[in-house]
Amino acid sequence: MDSLNGWKWLDLIKGDNVDRGREELSAIKRVIRTALKELPAELVLKDCNLVNVYTGEITRTDVSIAAGRVASIEKNSGPAQKFFDCSGYYAVPGLLDGHVHLDSTLLTPTQLAKIILPCGTTTVFIDPMEIANVLGLRGINSLLKDAWGSPLKTYVQISSRVPTAPGLETTGAVLGVREVVRMVKWSTVASLGELDPSKVIPPQDEYLLKVMATKRSWKVRVGHAAGLSGAELNAYASAGIGDDHECVTAEEALERVRLGMKVMIREGSSERNLEELIKLITVKGQDPRNFFFCTDDKHPNDIVREGHIDYNVRKAISLGLDPVRAVQLATINCAEHFRLDDEVGSIAPGRFADIVLVRDLREFKPEIVIANGQVVARKGKLLVRLREYRWPGWSTNTVKMKRSVEPADFEITSDREVQAVRVIQTIEGQIINKEIRAELKVIDGKVVVDIANDILKIACVERHKRTGNVAVAFVKGFELKEGAIASSVAHDHHNIVVVGANEADMAKAVNEIKRTQGGLVAVGRGKVLEKLELPIAGLMSKRSPDVVTRKLEKLNQAARDLGCKLNAPFMTLSFISLPTVPELGLTDKGLVDVRHRRIIPVKID
């Protein structure tokens, strides 16, 4: 085929974007000719100890890079524009995060890239359901325009449940079958986003049509099956769900693997599952190919302090996992699951040249990070300047309340002297919770908190449609002795959620979030102690990771000063209202019985 006919064929392959097709075709040719040593490589990593994730071998070799991709992994490479002596280094593939909500990190994608690229993470699979629930498809588009301005590869998991609990909550937008069918055609879409069991048990056409659309496009369906087992888990898997990142126990994870599902081992800020789940490989001898890593939701202060997916690798190794196996869980296992192993997840010819160099495989401290063939970070410092995206004005005006709240909005009345109530019991290190009961005093016709026994008030205030909805319940686990903490990040509806020891401070906290158009806030004795403004959709800050981290640390300290002992109080706060994780959730419409998908009374007659 001559070049003219080649360009004619590109019309069919690339549609109207022939220029991009020409660039891609030229790049492929350059990679091939570099592998043949007809052209000089742009960069050669000399004498590295290459971790081959396909064979499990570690081999001494050269890695030749051209047009942002690996041309060869052959010893005695050909000519090159630049050589880098890698003797003493292990070369591992760039790390992959199999499931993450970028907007839950409180940072814009560009700002997040600044701290996770130096950790060796070069690819993320994102479910943008947070901004989708606030701003819909136009919010997703803005998020991706921001994300695609950095070397961090961003693949999309189409948000499947916007809203998460139809009829039980108020959200800012809806993504239906039409939007999923439209998005599944995008080349950057890897899967359907997490689909909880309530959407397929009993079968519901809307969600099954979303599953069908992604299945016909040969793309994966991501799961979210907290607490599911037995016949229901079999039914859930039969709908075509391919994985789950909600496993808390090894038994839960093994049950999923036996059904052909993959298990993402999650290690976030408030969800710490790695220590328990890794036992399936290190103790039970399960096939490691069925597992890979994700963070799901991790605050920037934890990333800066611990690391990202590299932290998962180090922790898994410290718990007895073979280092090469740990690397496989962080790379090729994830890439193969999402059917993108021809692009990412390994150091092999034709793949993107995403490479992490470490001195000691067991210590696994990324020293040099290469993305698309370019050195982007060295010794924890980002070396490249990232393009800053200018978010549109409508994305920073999303807290739309009917009015400011008052302390009386958080009162629960009763004509009894002692009122029995349902209480949401949090569990440290997990997003699941339990329903417990408590007997609370009634003073002047109002049910009061029991600070001595850690029974506090929690409320959800609607902020999308100016409905004026305020739902109030009780919670145990925050241990506040005074004051209140509040957040406009409240999964998945992202109304305002507040926990407090008194109604006045709860009102002060919510009204401060209204004033700043989103954020996290700690209030004590009528004064704002600390706050972090999140003006973009009420979810993200425009500020640098350093600024956000400092503010978040101050907020956590303020919560501790008020009595809270949780490791990540604001992450726990953001999940306490989730109406799809057992056993209770709280939305602006009331207390949700998650298992039976219905609003139930807080007071028990």
Give the CATH number for residue 178: 3.20.20.140
Please give the pLDDT value at position 1: 35
Domain shared by 258 and 337, yes or no: yes
Region 419-441 average pLDDT: 93
**Alpha carbons 486 and 539: distance in angstroms, whole number:** 13
Domain shared by 103 and 219, yes or no: yes
Region 291-316 average pLDDT: 97
Domain closes at, from 326, 344, 362: 344
Please name which of 123, 101, 56 lies closest in space to residue 372, comparing C-alpha atoms.
123
**Alpha carbons 216 and 219: distance in angstroms, whole number:** 7
Please give the pLDDT value at position 104: 87
Domain shared by 337 and 404, yes or no: no
Domain shared by 321 and 404, yes or no: no
Query: Is a pLDDT exceeding 90 seen at residue 14?
Result: no
Residue 422 in any domain: the answer is yes
Looking at beta carbons, which pairs linking 288-291 to residues 24 or more positions away fall under 8 Å?
288/321, 288/325, 288/328, 288/329, 288/333, 289/328, 289/333, 289/336, 290/257, 290/262, 290/263, 291/253, 291/262, 291/263, 291/264, 291/265, 291/329, 291/333
Residue 67 in any domain: the answer is no
Least confident span in 498-512, 531-545, 576-590: 576-590
Domain shared by 245 and 112, yes or no: yes
Tell me the CA distances in angstroms from 351 to 94, 183, 337, 348, 387, one per residue in order.
11, 25, 16, 6, 25
Domain shared by 338 and 412, yes or no: no
Domain shared by 445 and 334, yes or no: no
pLDDT tens-digit map of 71-128: 999 998 789 999 999 999 999 999 999 999 998 899 999 999 999 999 999 999 999 9
Element (H, E) at 336: helix 332-337
pLDDT tens-digit map of 518-567: 999 999 999 999 999 999 999 999 999 999 999 999 999 999 999 999 99
Please give the pLDDT value at position 3: 41
Domain shared by 248 and 187, yes or no: yes
Query: Is a pLDDT exceeding 50 seen at residue 149?
Result: yes
Domain shared by 400 and 258, yes or no: no
Residue 54 in any domain: the answer is no
Residue 427 in any domain: the answer is yes
Domain closes at, from 317, 344, 371: 344
**Alpha carbons 345 and 332: distance in angstroms, whole number:** 4
Query: Is a pLDDT exceeding 60 seen at residue 5?
Result: no
**Alpha carbons 321 and 313: distance in angstroms, whole number:** 9
Region 562-576 average pLDDT: 94
Residue 363 in any domain: the answer is no
Residue 119 in any domain: the answer is yes
Region 339-360 average pLDDT: 98
**Quick one: CA dihedral 385, 142, 575, 290, positive or negative?**
negative
pTM for this one? 0.93
Please name which of 142, 588, 601, 37 lies closest in space to residue 390, comparing C-alpha atoms.
142
Domain shared by 190 and 284, yes or no: yes
Give percent of the chain above pLDDT 90. Answer: 91
Residue 528 in any domain: the answer is yes
**Alpha carbons 569 and 572: distance in angstroms, whole number:** 5
Query: Per-residue confidence at 4, pLDDT binned at 50, 70, 90?
Result: very low
Please give the pLDDT value at position 400: 97
**Quick one: CA dihedral 480, 484, 488, 493, positive or negative?**
positive
Domain shared by 412 and 528, yes or no: yes
Residue 181 structural domain: 94-344
Residue 100 in any domain: the answer is yes
> In whole numbers, what is the pLDDT of the chain averaged over residues?
95
Domain shared by 226 and 330, yes or no: yes
Give percent of the chain above pLDDT 70. Answer: 97
Residue 74 CA neighbour count, 13 Å, CB half = 12
Please give the pLDDT value at position 142: 97
Region 16-23 average pLDDT: 73
Please give the pLDDT value at position 555: 98
User: Which residues, other chains included, contact 330 with Cβ-Cβ below 8 Å and sequence gap of 6+?
Assistant: 95, 96, 292, 293, 309, 310, 312, 313
Please give the pLDDT value at position 6: 43
Domain count, the chain: 2
